[in-house]
Amino acid sequence: MIHIVKQNEPKELIALRASGAVEYKDLKDNAKKVVKESLLEEQGYLCAYCMRQIDYLGSIEHHHPQSIYDGTNGNEDLRLSYQNFLGVCVGYYNLTPNIHHPDHLKAHCENVRGNKPLKINPQDKDTIAALKYTNNGKIFSEDAEINTDVTETLSLNLEILRQKRLNVWDGVQKGLSIKGKTHQNVRQQFDKYSNRKDGKRFAYCGIVLYFLQKAML
């Protein structure tokens, strides 16, 4: 997971609320398409939770569940709040050519989360900074609540996600061992994975940035 900086909300969403719409189901047609495109762009085409690449956004995730934050029981109404919207993946890997893979169609991200509240928030730098990775690609946190969020509620240590994160980090490590692990080379890789290429961020860049940042200390 990486820090997401929200851009201005699309004018189509502002207009929708101004027309009196309050429910998420009122977001449809062109306004929904524009909102999805906006989320993909601001997130660099990565799932807000697992960092896998997403070129098309199936559904919009409410970080604070809309079943709770609907304006009742003293809760804010965040059903049509752009600040509460995240772009997330479909929540499983359809490993069709490899149906014997143990993670074939196993759920992760919002597919397993449902409406459970999360302390981890991609828009909150402090909770993102509380994330750590092990040398074998597992994500965890010393904050017990955040650890439960990433390991159980979002199931981000599913074997296939762990492998994919580790592959990316292994690739960077191999490159550095060939070029030389100088401060300059580490910095160059850090900058590369902090940035975008053609508007897209690098899939699973969070693990790379975590380890490179430690290497630069």
Binding stretches for Zn ion (CB under 5 A): 47, 49-50, 89, 109
Residue 140: phi and psi, rounded to 5, are: -160, 175
Contact by Cβ (8 Å): 157, 138? yes
To Zn ion, the closest distance from the beta carbon of 164 in angstroms equals 11
Closer to Zn ion by CB, 16 or 205: give it. Answer: 205
To Zn ion, the closest distance from the beta carbon of 115 in angstroms equals 17
Closer to Zn ion by CB, 123 or 185: give it. Answer: 123
Closer to Zn ion by CB, 89 or 120: give it. Answer: 89
Contact by Cβ (8 Å): 145, 130? no
Cα–Cα distances (Å) from 84 to 63, 120, 122, 124, 203, in that order, read 5, 13, 11, 12, 23
To Zn ion, the closest distance from the beta carbon of 57 in angstroms equals 11
Closer to Zn ion by CB, 16 or 158: give it. Answer: 158
Q: Determine the 3-state secondary structure of 195 from DSSP.
A: coil
To Zn ion, the closest distance from the beta carbon of 93 in angstroms equals 10
Contact by Cβ (8 Å): 124, 118? no
